[in-house]
Amino acid sequence: MARILIVDDSPSQLMGIQRIVEKLGHDTLVAEDGAAGVEVARRELPDLVLMDVVMPNLNGFQATRSICRDATTKHIPVVLVTTKDQETDRVWGMRQGARAYITKPFNEAQLGEVLEQLLPA
């Protein structure tokens, strides 16, 4: 069982993703914007981060870059989970350090597959 940080500014999206992650057997931490997500990642050192992109304060691309370049958190895989479905968004997200990119809406199987690939056995 992994500890997964979910970062999303939409309460309904946050709850929906949290429900799926917990159903898949993992513990969750939550943050409501990118800046809070970076802080929670540094403090709690989760096993993985699910990061929205379009958020106030610090967007998901900026927060991902911050987590992936910080010595304390760079080992944590970040998965961008977003409505931004353009190839340029995907490429930019991966260049910021994301290990995977999931577009909304997604289903439980898609998320489960990505978690299985990125979490240690």
Place of tokens 């927060």: 63
**pLDDT of res. 22:** 97
Residue 121 lies in a domain: no
Confidence tier at 120 by pLDDT (50, 70, 90): confident
Measure CA of the first residue to CA of the last residue in the chain; give whole Å.
9
Residue 119 lies in a domain: no
Q: Which residues contact 80 (CB under 8 A, 6 or more apart)?
A: 51, 52, 53, 60, 61, 64, 93, 98, 100, 101, 102
**What gap in Å lies between CA 120 and CA 43, rounded to an integer?**
21
Residue 68 lies in a domain: yes
pTM recorded for the entire structure? 0.97
**pLDDT of res. 16:** 96
**What gap in Å lies between CA 18 and CA 6, rounded to an integer?**
7
Residue 91 lies in a domain: yes
Residue 48 lies in a domain: yes
Residue 57 lies in a domain: yes
CATH classification at residue 71: 3.40.50.2300
Residue 38 lies in a domain: yes
Q: Please report the beta strands in 35-93, taking only residues with DSSP state E, as ranges in sequence order.
A: 48-51, 78-82
- The residue-averaged pLDDT of 88-114 equals 96
* Nearest alpha carbon to residue 111 among 88, 79, 67: 79
- The residue-averaged pLDDT of 8-18 equals 96
Over 80: is that where the pLDDT of 121 sits? no
Domain of residue 108: give its range. Answer: 3-114
pLDDT tens-digit series, residues 33-88: 999 999 999 999 999 999 999 999 899 999 999 999 999 999 999 999 999 999 99
**What gap in Å lies between CA 57 and CA 36, rounded to an integer?**
9
**pLDDT of res. 68:** 98
Confidence tier at 2 by pLDDT (50, 70, 90): very high
Domain total for the chain? 1
